[in-house]
Amino acid sequence: MQEKMERLKNLQGLDQELNAIRQKRQKLEEEQQVLNDEMARIQGMVDKLDGDIDVLKDERGKLNQALAQEQDNVKKAEGRLPGIKTQKEYVAVLKEIDTAKKMNKELLDSIQRKDAEIDVLVKDREEKDGELTALKEKAGSRGAEIDADMAEFNGAIEAKESERELLLGDLSTTVRKRYHMLLERRGGVAIVEARNETCLGCNMHLPPQLFNSLFSASEIQSCPHCNRLLYVVIQK
Ligand SMILES: [Zn+2]
């Protein structure tokens, strides 16, 4: 019985170690995820700005075309002036030129405003791109550390798992099932010490007969209150 309980105690110790490593591994995975999410978020902002800048540049291109058209109109109208015969026609062409020039001025203003808008977005994009580069560097160096730690944790988990398989192999299916069920239901503590007629798992009093039997019984005993498997430390 003592030997079997010893094995179970070792098993529980291993399981607790495995749990601790798995938790550390999960934390690293979460950290990696946060870095990836942040990179994706900023990349999304850069992409969005690229799209917005393209739209503005397209609009500016159209304004440029319109400006060229109006400038052409002015030239053509001015070219017609020398051949004009009547005062009335002359006034009409001058008015046409004046209107086209006003239009030119408005178009130039619009182009300037568009350029200013583009500048703002380009600066914003540069800033975000800088953030992204810095974050990628950080993710790269931290990622390498995380990868190294992960490899170490995975190795440790593998080693402990095979150790665990060996311990499990020596236990009967019934004991294994009881152990696993308790581990799950009792927060990872299935095996506890009994001391001074008390279960140290739930701190409840144990019947003296049960407590005394722990020193000699050949069967595994469990606490009548929390069902955990009990062992006693025998003073030598
Ligand atoms: Zn108990």
pLDDT in tens, 71-85: 999 999 999 999 989
Among residues 147, 170, 193, which one ends one of the domains?
Answer: 170
At which of 142, 170, 198 does a domain end? 170
What is the chain's percent helix, strand, coil content, to nearest 5? Answer: 80, 5, 15
Query: Does position 1 have pLDDT exceeding 70, yes or no?
Result: no
Give the number of domains in the chain: 2
Global confidence as pTM? 0.73
Residues 119, 197, single domain; the answer is: no
Q: Where are the alpha helices (DSSP H) in 170-234?
A: 173-185, 208-213
* 130 shares its domain with 181: no
- Residue 175 near residue 8 (C-beta atoms within 8 A): yes
Residues 103 and 151 both lie in one domain: yes
Q: Do 160 and 194 reside in the same domain of the chain? A: no
Report how far residue 115's alpha carbon sits from residue 60's, in angstroms, rounded to the nearest whole number.
Answer: 8
**What DSSP character marks residue 214?**
T
| CATH number, domain containing residue 92 | 1.10.287.1490
Cα of 190 vs centre of ligand 1, distance in Å, is: 10
Q: Is residue 9 part of a domain?
A: no
Gap from CA of 204 to ligand 1 centroid (Å)? 6
Domain check: are 102 and 199 in the same one? Answer: no
C-alpha 165 to ligand 1 mean position (Å): 27
The boundaries of the domain holding residue 114 are 14-170
Distance 228 CA to ligand 1 centre (A): 6
Residues constituting the chain: 236
Q: Are residues 147 and 222 in the same domain?
A: no
pLDDT tens digits, 123-140: 999 999 999 999 999 999
Alpha carbon of residue 17 to chain centroid: 26
